[in-house]
Amino acid sequence: MFDNNNSNDSADAGDRYRLLIDSITDYAIYMLSPDGLVSSWNPGAKRFKGYDEAEVLGKHFSVFYQPADVKAGLPQKALQTAAQEGRFEGEGWRLKKDGSRFWCHVVIDPILSSNGSILGFAKITRDLTERKRAETEFLERERQFRLLVQSVTDYAIYMLDASGVITNWNSGAERIKGYTPDEVIGKHYSLFFTEADRERGEPERGLATAAREGRFETQAWRVRKDGRLIWANVVVDPVRDVDGSVIGFAKVTRDITESRETQIALEQAREALFQSQKMEALGQLTGGVAHDFNNLLMVIHGALQLVLKRVSDPKSSSLLENALQAAQRGATLTHRMLAFARRQELRVEPVDLPDLVRSMAGLLQRSLGARISIETQFPLFLTSVMADPNQLEMAVLNLAVNARDAMPSGGLITIAAVEREVCGAGEDLKPGRYVCLSITDTGSGMDSSTLQRAKEPFFTTKGAGKGTGLGLSMVHGLAEQSGGRLHLKSKRGHGTTAELWLPAVDAPVANDPEVDAPPLRGVELKNHSVLVVDDDPLVLLSTTAMLEDLGASVSQANSAEEAVAKLETMVVDLVITDQVMPGMTGAQLAEQLSSSHPRLPVVLASGFADRAAEELAFKLPRLHKPFDQETLARVSLQALSAFTA
């Protein structure tokens, strides 16, 4: 009975062992006969190799090898190694039943009898194709990186160990320093420093700074192999292990000897770039805020207008009119912000200079401060000039602020104007009548060299952070664009005069139809259907309310795409669309409708200039946000009449 129990226990153990092997699918585990024939096959082997057990039992395991490996005798060598050394382990390509390859890790152990003879072999295979692919990609990237570094000849790129000893050397380093890799690898990088720098401990300081601060950069003299000095730009970055400990340094050196003579100019260009980026960022912010504020003001202005028409109480009407005036002042403010951001459409019109200066007297005094006195000198009659009033206000403010900065202890600014006739081309102006607006200060003035460069973009005599150097160049650009010029007169110790010459209005100023036309009645848009497109729901609701109050039948769309879809199933007389919308802009919508609905008038509503929009839709009627109900009605009727004329 004891023997029977042992027999049963052995059978149970064998079954459990077989269950264990069959449950493993991540490894191919099978047995070979002493001559390499497959004698067992687990599910993992079937998954890896693709063979069923019946297909592979009795076949030589070399069937899994590539033909070249079989020809080289690798299967036999593997069995011989396992038999002689007690184990074979390796990696290589193997074949599946379908002929595809996979990279695997293989272990072969001999199965020995009690007397030490070989009964067969146990073979375990693991599929490492993904790891192999990752390693191959990593090695390829490393190879490409090495090729990249070695191909760079304008920069010396090399590595140092933690103590500063050179460990590798690229072709750029050889060209710049003059040393071959054999001459320099293993030596301390202080070899390239001048004797004075070595005595001051500059090599050690550079490495210590890089290790402490994460980067060290400087420009200094370095010594070539031939003893010649070069002016170098040097960057040292620490190389850390996974624990954060410094194990070396990456060093990049560029020979900038030839450019050293132009270093001052380069610094000025870099400062100009910084100022330009700062102004661009500020302009983007200002323009975005002004655009959103424009939409809010339009909603407020439109709602107040509609409520005012429905209120009969005089006190309430007075309050509403005050609120309307405040909204209009807010609109003027947004126009100035957009002008600063260069997103205000240039609207050249006749401008009365004395009126303009008087209207901004409060702004000037607040901007200039109590120590600056302002005096104006205008003739009793002065011809108007052709200019953009918002841009002109900005120009006057810029010139006045420049004058203030030239008088740190206070002084007098005189704003004057006089009409002049230009007969020849000697004044850099076309012949004709001009108005010369001058702003004179009692400040320190400029010498001839400073005066010569004063209108250059980004040139400034102010300290760092105290000026952009764009003020005069912006005024100069406005003058040129308006058909005039900016002329500066100054002498050291005798103040400065900035003269802004602008074309005079040749003909009497016609009444602005948007200002002088009689109010429109609500019936003006009766029997007309309008589609309003705007991604701002408040603006959409406000515009709809104003149009419905004018008698129009209004449909709404939250985007240009929705408008296109609606126009496929409905007929309208007019489309009023916002310009700045996600996806398709208003100008792009108008361009698409010009093909699909050529007889459908489109009005473009915009709060600021968009050069692309101007090119796409320069013929479209425009509504300048924020617009009131009368302007909305007038532009709508003009657009409708243009298509029915």
Nearest to 180 by CA among 166, 190, 194: 166
- Give SS3 for 408: coil
Kindly give the residue spans of alpha helices, DSSP state H, lying in 409-462: 448-453
For residue 420, the 8-state DSSP code is E
42: CATH? 3.30.450.20
* pLDDT value of residue 435: 93
Across the range 363-381, mean pLDDT stands at 88
CA–CA distance, 26 with 42 (Å, rounded to integer): 10
Clarify whether residues 89 and 165 are in a common domain: no
- pLDDT confidence bin for 303, thresholds 50/70/90: confident
Residue 249 has pLDDT above 90, yes or no: yes
* pLDDT value of residue 644: 63
Q: Are 613 and 345 in contact (CB under 8 A)?
A: no
CA–CA distance, 186 with 166 (Å, rounded to integer): 5
Per-residue model confidence as pLDDT tens digits over 156-199? 888 899 999 999 888 888 888 899 989 999 999 999 999 999 99
Residue range(s) defining the domain that contains residue 292:
265-333
Which of 503, 531, 559 marks a domain boundary? 503
Residue 139 in any domain: the answer is no
* Whole-number average pLDDT of the chain: 80
* pLDDT value of residue 205: 94
The angle at the Cα of 202, spanning 199 to 204, to the nearest 5 degrees, equals 105
CA–CA distance, 310 with 304 (Å, rounded to integer): 10
Clarify whether residues 421 and 458 are in a common domain: yes
* pLDDT value of residue 458: 44
Per-residue model confidence as pLDDT tens digits over 251-275? 988 888 877 767 666 676 676 566 5
Per-residue model confidence as pLDDT tens digits over 206-237? 999 999 999 999 999 999 999 999 899 999 99
Beta strand 602-606 with 622-624 is: parallel
Clarify whether residues 416 and 435 are in a common domain: yes
Alpha carbon distance, N-terminus to C-terminus of the chain: 119
Residue 136 in any domain: the answer is no
Q: 72-76, 240-244, 255-259: which range is least confident on average?
A: 255-259
Q: Are 166 and 158 in contact (CB under 8 A)?
A: yes
Alpha-carbon Rg of the chain, whole angstroms? 42
CA dihedral of 267, 270, 271, 274, whole degrees rounded to 10: -160
- Give SS3 for 417: strand
Which of 461, 485, 503 marks a domain boundary? 503
pTM of the model: 0.41
Clarify whether residues 326 and 383 are in a common domain: no
Residue 29 has pLDDT above 90, yes or no: no
Nearest to 324 by CA among 343, 340, 311: 311
- Higher pLDDT: 546 or 450? It is 546
Residue 26 in any domain: the answer is yes
Residue 285 in any domain: the answer is yes
* Percent of the chain clearing pLDDT 70 (strictly above): 75
* pLDDT value of residue 24: 62
Across the range 450-473, mean pLDDT stands at 51
* pLDDT value of residue 215: 92
- Give SS3 for 182: helix
Per-residue model confidence as pLDDT tens digits over 548-588? 888 899 999 999 999 999 999 999 999 999 888 888 988 89
Residue 145 in any domain: the answer is no
619: CATH? 3.40.50.2300
* pLDDT value of residue 192: 93
Q: How many CB atoms lie within 10 A of CB 352?
A: 17
Tokens for 644, please give them.
């029915």
For residue 508, the 8-state DSSP code is P
Residue 416 has pLDDT above 90, yes or no: yes
Choose the most confident range, by mean pLDDT, from 185-199, 347-361, 434-448.
Answer: 185-199
